[in-house]
Copies of this chain bind each other. A is one copy, B any other.
Amino acid sequence: MEIKTYLNEQRLVVEGALEKYMPAAEVENGLFSVHIEAMRYSLFAGGKRIRPILCLAAGEAVGARPSLETDLLPIACALECIHTYSLIHDDLPAMDNDDLRRGKPTSHKLYGEAGAILAGDGLLTWAFDLLSNSEKSKLLPEKRLAIIHLIARAAGSLGMVGGQLLDICHENKEFPFETLRAIHRNKTGALITASILAGGIAAGADQAQREALRRYGEQVGLAFQIVDDLLNATSTTAQLGKAAGSDACRGKATYPGFFGIEATRQKAGAAVAEAESALNIFDAKADPLRAIARYILTRSH
């Protein structure tokens, strides 16, 4: 399997589905066109689509059936909506105050702060609209409710939103490594793990499979965050599409800040190895998940 080809193909599948599932600027006679344009701008401003792709790959790992992709895509797209909303709000002047994201102006630079806050609010709410839309899914209602609850818990105050506030509160402060772990686990890890578990649950994962997917998700999320820290510390702005070195400027604690570059690379490698070992109970259908874990590591070099 050529991982880059796979990721590219899956990215296009996700983007096609997003195009289909998002409201068009023309709905309601264009009443909401500016707002919908703002949501679409951030949603289609690039991005690796890693959460939706992990969701699809976890579904594949548990077992394919003809309608699986159709059932998974609304979930995958909802996850991307939530991720995008979190980036829009994180970039706001009151938070990280970033002007660039993926090499393009951030939402508030184009739509103003109010427009950006509402674009984020709209995307978050649309995620739950999509997850609960019975025209879009043939999954059993019980399963869909479990998936909604899993995602809401991971995205909310006891997960991503809580992690973002922790992150902000600890800028320019000394704190122990355990706090950095808690920030990562909540701010980025929780939604990544939920993306993988949601795909597994939709595909009918049993208890042992769910547990394996959870362990895989936690380690992949950790590796992902460590590599993000590494890239921020070692890349140029042009390579990154956002301000390089911004973590250090802002007094954000990072893995390289605690352990240095080399030991941090080793920790990323260890997390990926643990992620792979969590998948031992799966057969070759989990190869995409395995390849994604290894691919995350290559981004750090």
Contact = CB atoms under 8 A, between A and B. Distances in A.
Contacts of A28: 158
Interface in A21-41: 23, 27-28, 31-32, 34-36, 39
A256 interface: no
A165 interface: yes
Interface string A158-198: 10011011101100000000000010001000000000000
Interface centre among A23, A122, A134 (most CB of B within 10 A): A122
A27 B158 contact: yes
B141 A128 contact: no
A146 B140 CA distance: 13
* Pairs of residues from A and B, 10 with the lowest C-beta to C-beta distance, nearest first: A125-B156, A94-B113, A141-B141, A122-B157, A132-B149, A129-B152, A132-B148, A32-B162, A128-B152, A35-B165
Interface in A84-122: 89, 92, 94-95, 112-115, 117-118, 120-122
A39 B165 CA distance: 12
A34 B166 CA distance: 9
A35 to B, nearest CB: 5
Contact of A166 (B32, B133, B156): B32
Given A35-B165, A165-B35, A166-B32, A129 B117 contact: no
Interface centre among A34, A114, A153 (most CB of B within 10 A): A114
A118 B164 contact: yes
A64 interface: no
A295 interface: no
Contacts of A117: 89, 92, 94-95, 117
A144 interface: yes
Interface centre among A36, A120, A157 (most CB of B within 10 A): A157
Q: On chain A, which size bracket covers the interface?
A: 35 or more
A161 B121 contact: yes
A142 interface: yes
Nearest to A35: B165
A263 interface: no
A145 interface: yes
A162 B122 contact: yes
A111 B278 CA distance: 41
A220 to B, nearest CB: 22
12 contacts: A23-B158, A34-B165, A34-B169, A35-B162, A36-B157, A39-B157, A94-B112, A121-B156, A125-B152, A126-B156, A132-B145, A140-B141
Contacts of A131: 148
